Amino acid sequence: DAKTTQPTSMDCAEGRAANLPCNHSTISGNEYVYWYRQIHSQGPQYIIHGLKNNETNEMASLIITEDRKSSTLILPHATLRDTAVYYCIVASTGGGADGLTFGKGTHLIIQP
C-alpha cells in the first residue's frame, strides 16, 4: 500500500468546516483513498472513500486532486463529537482481502 502523510494534529472551532489534508504522492492507479476516524478507545469508523472523483455522503466530503497525489476530507459543520483521530489510507481493491494499514493519523480537536 502507498504511504500517506497527514498533519499530527489540528484544531477547528465548533460549527466551522474542518478540512483535513492528506498527501499520497505515490498512489497507484488502482488504489482508492479511504478515510476512517477513531474516537477515543473505540474501534475505527469508516467515513468515506473515493478513486478520483469528489465524493460526498452524510458524514463528509472528499476532495481528490486531479493528479490524485493529495486529498482533503471536509467535515462541513464540525461538532464536539467530531473530536477524533482521522486516518487517511490508500489501498487497492478486489482480488481477496488485504489488511488495511493505518498510520498515525491526524488528531482533530474541535474547540467549543
Partner 1 sequence: ETGVTQTPRHLVMGMTNKKSLKCEQHLGHNAMYWYKQSAKKPLELMFVYNFKEQTENNSVPSRFSPECPNSSHLFLHLHTLQPEDSALYLCASSLSHWGPSNNYGYTFGSGTRLTVV
Contact footprint for partner 1 (CB under 8 A) = 32, 34, 36, 41-46, 49, 51, 93-105
Min separation Cβ 38 and partner 1, Å: 8
- Pick left, alpha or beta for residue 52 (phi over 0 → left; psi -120 to 50 → alpha; otherwise beta): alpha
Of residues 99 and 112, the one with the C-beta less far from partner 1: 99
Please identify, using beta-carbon distances, which residue of 66 and 97 lies nearer to partner 1.
Answer: 97
CB 105 within 8 A of CB 85: yes
The span from the CA of 65 to the CA of 72, in Å, is 9
Smallest distance, partner 1 to C-beta of residue 60, A: 13
Could you give the C-alpha distances from 20 to 1, 30, 59, 89, in angstroms and in order? 21, 23, 14, 13
Smaller CB separation from partner 1, 24 or 34: 34
| Shortest Å distance, C-beta 106 to partner 1 | 12
